Structure 1
Amino acid sequence: MPHPRPGPRNLITDVRGLTVGHATDEAVRSGVTALLCPEGWVGAVDVRGGGPGIRESDVLRPENNFSRAHAITLSGGSVFGLGAADGVTTALSAAGHGIRLAAGSPAIPIVPGAVLHDLGNGGDKAWGLDPPYRALGMAAVAAAGEDFALGAVGAGRGAMAGLHKGGVGSASLDLDDGLVVGALVAVNPVGSVYMPGGETFWAWPFEIDDEFGGQSSRKGAPDPSVRATDPVPDDSKLAALGRFNAGANTTLAVVATTAALTTAEATRLAMMAQDGLARAIRPVHTPFDGDVVFALSSGAVEIGEGPARSLTIAKLGSAAADTLARAIARGVYSAR
């Protein structure tokens, strides 16, 4: 069996049917990233941060009766950024995407979303009664395609990873037999993506093809004296930036797969993918973060039944965690 490799783009759009668009406001130093699956894919969500900012997450719970999404929106702007999903919803509806509950009614897209806090980054936030995020959401839909930029763009424009510039990252993994896993992430945690010394990513063991600087091939094993449990430092710089306030930080992620999953199985995929955050950020899921992972299933590949199905889901979850860890490092590497 061949060793799993990234898809041709090494982006979440290697899961066919997905497109991604960014819209960035350089004056505000913020932006929006929209991931589109306008036919409506099975969706799920797992929230583990202590200060999340989310929209329409409950519709993706397995106990509810329409656990599908037509898009996922990630945005800067804290609570103001939740308006980005309004723009994405409007644009998709105008294009005829969504459910219809009555003849002649507008299409109703389901657009869950999550936001990160970037209000203290020095951009012009004096928007008064007209925050830019709804317009940015519509612009992100218009810009969506299979290829997209990584780094300080879209939802990652104003992001910080600890004291370093954060950003948007993505990666994919082809598991063969049509099974593909992809990840998209906006990286804005209080924790560090770097090991002590600020050069080596915590995610270095998972790197493929020098995708974030070739650390796995250049550095070899890290210094054994480095403690893997280093806590958040009592750092005056982080405190001065307000990073020790609940909700001031977060990592927002989407994982997607070609496998045909139920909502409960997609929830398990999101839960397992959270381990990717722990592999790439130390510490994570803190009281200061709003960490959220969405999961999407295209339904393109059937995965059987019984114990073999459960084993496949376990493999998908493991791959999703590794792929998300790689996406986090790629986002910060591209931003810097």
Structure 2
Amino acid sequence: MTSHPARDDRPVLQDLITDVAGLRVGHATDEGAGTGVTVVLCDGLWAAAADVRGGGPGLREIEVMAPENLVPGVHAITLSGGSVFGLAAADGALVELSAAGVGLPMRAEGPVVPIVPGAVLYDLSNPGDKNWGTEPPYRRLGREAARAALAAGHHGTFALGSVGAGRGAMAGVIPGGIGSASCALEGGLVVGALVAVNPVGAVLTEGDEDFLNAPFAGSADPFPGGSRLAELGRLQPGANTTLAIVACNARLDKAEAKRLAMMAQDGLARAIRPVHTPFDGDVVFALASGEIDLDGVEVDGPRIRPWLLARLGAAAADCLARATVRGVRAAADPVR
């Protein structure tokens, strides 16, 4: 893994979402079925939100994060392959987390209740064996990914590329996968991103240059590889989807977390061409640990809360763009 040099009081980072203290990541991969699940586990109940922009999303427990609703945060987020079958991954994850004591204590006796939103991507058209009858693997994979997250160390590394929710992913006509990135801001603030890259759009040009840095000519094809995508059966609603999580160590409320997720969506727009299409179910989750009070952070520029939130959102978009490119490059060449 690459790392950043420290600047001012900024820590040296591993360029992973786990640079945000209190996050752990666990993968579970089913090589036979060509699919998998990724769980991002919070150290406690974190403020959270989701911003949905794709035309065919598959989601679970999204409304619990709305600012007008009671529960103040979430314990984990599941990302899964399998389209609607993958929604069962959150069932498996929450059972495993509850057994480990992670959740809200609703009564003196009985299980604690984990709050575990989730989202799914479509990978049912890849060559893996999907003849699972009445027992899709996703509940099992959700339990395995949650166990892996529980066992992971804080600030721990984790695999990128064709693992977990990214195992069966495609980015246009080439393999997609799990990517991650992070950055440090002043005042001890850290922002990170994790993404399962599975868009109908492309992340790399034909010359293997990423769109993040490629200039566009006015005559450029706005939808690369359209005919090949049609042959692969990818041009149908919900047959793709990029799932992302951005996180920071600031103290945000749920409305501010929503703004963080909304700004982070720009990172997908920089890295994927096109994005948020009718064929995708793109969603970005945002998590905030509450470690650092924004009202006490010293920054260059206006010392007002919206300015700091804007800086966090801009950093989240940058991290998500880089994470997207890293995910595709790691899937294409695991050595990178």
Tell whether the structures are fold-level matches, with TM greater than 0.5: yes
User: Residue in 2 aligned with 1:78?
Assistant: 83
Aligned to 1:105: 110
Q: Which residue of 2 aligns with 1:318?
A: 314
Instruction: Indicate conservation of the 8 Å contact 2:166/2:197, yes or no.
Output: yes
Identity percentage of aligned residues: 62
> What amino acid sits opposite 1:330 in the alignment?
R
Secondary structure of 1:151's counterpart equals coil
**Which residue number corresponds to residue 214 of structure 1?**
none
Partner of 1:330, secondary structure, is helix
Normalized against structure 2, the TM-score is what? 0.90
Distance apart, 1:8 and its partner CA: 2.1
1:11-90 matched pairs, under 5 angstroms: 11-90=16-95
Report matched runs for 1:200-279 at 5 Å. 200-204=209-213, 222=214, 226-227=217-218, 230-233=221-224, 235-279=226-270
State the partner residue of 1:188. 198
Distance in 2 separating the partners of 1:317 and 1:232: 27
Q: After TM superposition, give the deviation of residue 178 of structure 1 in Å.
A: 1.2
- Give the whole-Å Cα distance in 2 for the aligned partners of 1:303 and 1:36: 23
Cross-structure match for 2:171: 161
CA distance in 2, matches of 1:6, 1:199: 32
> Which amino acid in the other structure matches residue 113 of structure 2?
I
Q: Give the gaps of 5 or more residues in structure 1.
A: 205-221
Q: Which stretch of the first structure deviates more once superposed, 151-160 or 300-309?
A: 300-309
TM-score, scaled relative to structure 1:
0.90
> 2:10 and 2:195 mapped to 1: Cα distance?
19
- In 2, Cα distance between equivalents of 1:228 and 1:85: 44
CA deviation string 1:177-203 (max 9, x = no partner):
1100000000000011013x2410012
Q: Does 1:94 align with 2:103?
A: no
| SS class of match (2:54) | coil
Pairing 1:118–2:123 present: yes
User: 1:248 Cα deviation (Å)?
Assistant: 0.4
Q: 1:225 to 1:98 in 2, by over 3 A?
A: closer
Helix, strand or coil for the counterpart of 1:188? coil
Q: What is the identity, as a one-letter code, of the residue corresponding to 2:208? A: E
Q: Does 1:283 find its partner at 2:279?
A: no
- 1:212 aligned partner: none
C-alpha separation in 2, matches of 1:6 and 1:52: 36
Instruction: Report the 3-state secondary structure (helix = DSSP H, G, I; strand = E; otherwise coil) of the residue aligned with 1:304.
Output: helix
Instruction: Please say if residues 38 and 97 of structure 1, whose CA atoms lie closer than 8 Å, have aligned partners that are also in contact.
Output: no
CA distance in 2, matches of 1:48, 1:23: 27
Q: CA 1:29/1:4 → structure 2, altered by over 3 Å: closer, same or farther? A: farther
Contact 2:87 2:118 in 1 (8 A): yes
Q: Runs in 1 of length 4+ with deviation above 3 angstroms?
A: 1-7, 224-230
Following the alignment from structure 2 to structure 1, what is the Cα–Cα distance between the partners of residues 136 and 321? 32
Q: 1:95 to 1:282 in 2, by over 3 A?
A: same
Q: Match for residue 334 of structure 1?
A: 330
From the superposition, tell whether residues 139 and 263 of structure 1 become closer, same or farther in structure 2 (CA, over 3 Å). same
1:308 to partner: Cα distance: 1.1
RMSD, matched Cα: 1.9
Whether the 8 Å CA contact 2:8–2:186 is kept in 1: the answer is no
Residue 298, structure 1, aligned to residue 308, structure 2: no
Moved more, 158-167 or 227-236: 227-236
Is the 8 Å Cα contact of residues 13 and 183 (structure 2) preserved in structure 1?
no
Separation in 2 of the partners of 1:4 and 1:164? Answer: 40
Contact 1:41–1:299 at 8 Å: present in 2 too? yes
What secondary structure, in the 3-state scheme, does the structure 2 residue paired with 1:169 have?
A: strand
8 Å contact kept, 1:12–1:18: yes
The range that moved more, 147-156 or 60-69, is: 60-69
